A and B are shown apart, each in its own frame.
Chain A
């Protein structure tokens, strides 16, 4: 059984957890803002899209493979080369939001190492590796 003073300390989130929360909060906020700005640039026609807006209703009824082929949409990180296009630039905010957890886990791993919580630190590093593998674009599923 824990002592009352220990319990009081335990109620509070650990410093590593709080840092994680802060990074997540500010990162998500930034990601959402970027996402909204790029979306506005896209639908208001400020940036020319890779696929014209009028074509979209005929493309989104087909599979992703057909969509990629018809619109010359690259797989993986190939979109970076087309980032000046209205539709493609939306991936900046989306990719940032998706990458946020990786940054948070890197920060967490450092925090856990400082606290000498080695097991949790190893798990956090493994998580970074798993998410980085998913983000790398190496894993390509067969189209259907």
Chain B
């Protein structure tokens, strides 16, 4: 399947914004020079949407190749690749020039289901995709912070859809990205008591054990099945983000026996009002059981799990939103650790792509926090939901071979 440039999908949105501005009578075309005073929307369009569209558009040639189609232009296929195809599509013709490479003595034949991928030949220099990934993740970090979602949930569908990396490596990097974010945020959340250990420990035990199962399942199942399930999950997450209305302070009249036994209650200081907020959980058993599914999905797709942790902790178990968000972020440092180890031990982590992803996303998060004051998070959130619908549909179609 030949992938249309992402810019084609994103630019109408930008144009729509342009039209909205144009209604004020100045011009129907969006002119960046003439709209300097339009604050938040201008920041969003100028600093985020256009670079994201540009980055995705740059990534498109690879996605077209990754989809199994031969590039239209013959120049994209190197002579080396052509000879490789003639030799019954070997996985790699390892360069004999470098003595440091311990090449496999016999040429490995890839599984039949991956035959199309063998045709994918990338003639960009080695640094091109890591640099593209660094910039892409930087922008992703900004958007993720402003939309209030974790990086992993955006990283895996977008990078697997628009970059040439195999899904195994994208999931491995996705888990490390989510893990790095959680490790960076964890200490502050714990010190302020926004992440509560008594709430996190039982939940983390279940989720991390199940994340191992999910990771093993994800690596054992064929890529097309995982891709299809990933697409369906991303679409589900987009619907969840669209429909769920978190409650700042859910009303919990009585704590259930399980919550009481596990000591799932606490107190925190609301800094904005100076108010001391007491909280406790209910429906604890149902919540704990749901973390089985959350753990499996986190491990299987390398998504992180903040998108699921927060609604379960907040809406189902009744933890205040701040505690739910803080504990969820901290939980990722445990859940993703167990899944990340499985991916790491299976060789699913390529440092050349994982490190720029981590660095880009973390730097983007820092900038995102600063931009948060100027931009409209609600608008960004809807944009992210739109991108998730798009990325989910693409992953689904890719998995189904459409």
Residues on A lying within 8 angstroms of B by beta carbon are 2, 7, 10-14, 16-18, 20-22, 24-25, 27-28, 31-32, 35-36, 38-39, 42-43, 48-77, 85, 87, 90-91, 94-95, 97-98, 100-102, 108, 119-120, 123-124, 126-127, 130-131, 133-135, 137, 139-144
Contact = CB atoms under 8 A, between A and B. Distances in A.
What 4 A-B pairs have minimum CB-CB distances, sorted nearest first?
A: A90-B351, A141-B219, A25-B187, A21-B190
B101 interface: yes
A61 B122 contact: yes
A43 B351 CA distance: 10
A13 to B, nearest CB: 5
A94 B183 contact: no
A56 B346 CA distance: 17
A48 B333 CA distance: 32
A131 B215 CA distance: 13
A59 to B, nearest CB: 6
A123 B202 CA distance: 7
Contact of B267 (A7, A18, A91): A7
Nearest to B192: A13
Contact of A134 (B186, B193, B333, B337): B337
Contact of A13 (B168, B183, B193, B333): B193
A10 B267 contact: yes
Nearest to A85: B100
Contacts of B145: none
B359 interface: yes
Contact of B117 (A31, A61, A76, A134): A61
Interface stretch (B26-34, B91-99, B150-158, B369-377): B91-99
Query: Which of B103, B190, B268, B347 has the largest count of A CB atoms less than 10 A from its CB?
Result: B347
B66 A61 contact: yes
B216 A73 contact: no
A98 B166 contact: no
B212 A54 contact: no
B298 interface: no
B380 interface: no
Contacts of A57: 122, 124, 126, 128-129, 164
A28 to B, nearest CB: 4
Given A35-B355, A127-B201, A60 B100 contact: no
A70 B350 contact: no
A17 B114 CA distance: 47
A116 B333 CA distance: 25
A69 to B, nearest CB: 5
Contact of B342 (A53, A141, A144): A141
Contacts of A74: 347
Given A50-B101, A123-B201, A7 B276 contact: yes
A39 B267 CA distance: 42
Contacts of A69: 91, 104, 108
Contact of A120 (B110, B190, B263, B276): B263
Contacts of B220: 141-144
B337 A61 contact: no
Contacts of A17: 190-191, 193, 197
Contacts, number: 257
B334 A127 contact: yes
A59 B269 CA distance: 51
Contacts of B345: 75-77, 135, 137, 139-140
Nearest to A117: B263
A39 B130 CA distance: 12
Given A64-B219, A94-B351, A139 B342 contact: yes
Given A50-B100, A97-B183, A141 B204 contact: no
Nearest to B128: A57
Contacts of B65: 61
Interface string B217-243: 111111100000000000000000000
Nearest to B354: A94
A139 to B, nearest CB: 6
A53 B94 contact: no
B91 to A, nearest CB: 4
B267 A11 contact: yes
Contact of A60 (B261, B262, B338, B353): B353
B278 interface: yes
B270 to A, nearest CB: 10
Contacts of B188: 21
Given A55-B95, A61-B117, 7 more contacts: A35-B355, A43-B352, A72-B102, A87-B352, A94-B176, A126-B205, A134-B212
22 contacts: A16-B197, A17-B197, A24-B183, A24-B333, A28-B183, A43-B352, A57-B128, A61-B66, A61-B117, A63-B168, A66-B92, A68-B347, A69-B108, A71-B102, A73-B347, A108-B197, A120-B198, A123-B205, A134-B339, A137-B345, A139-B216, A139-B345
Contacts of B184: 28
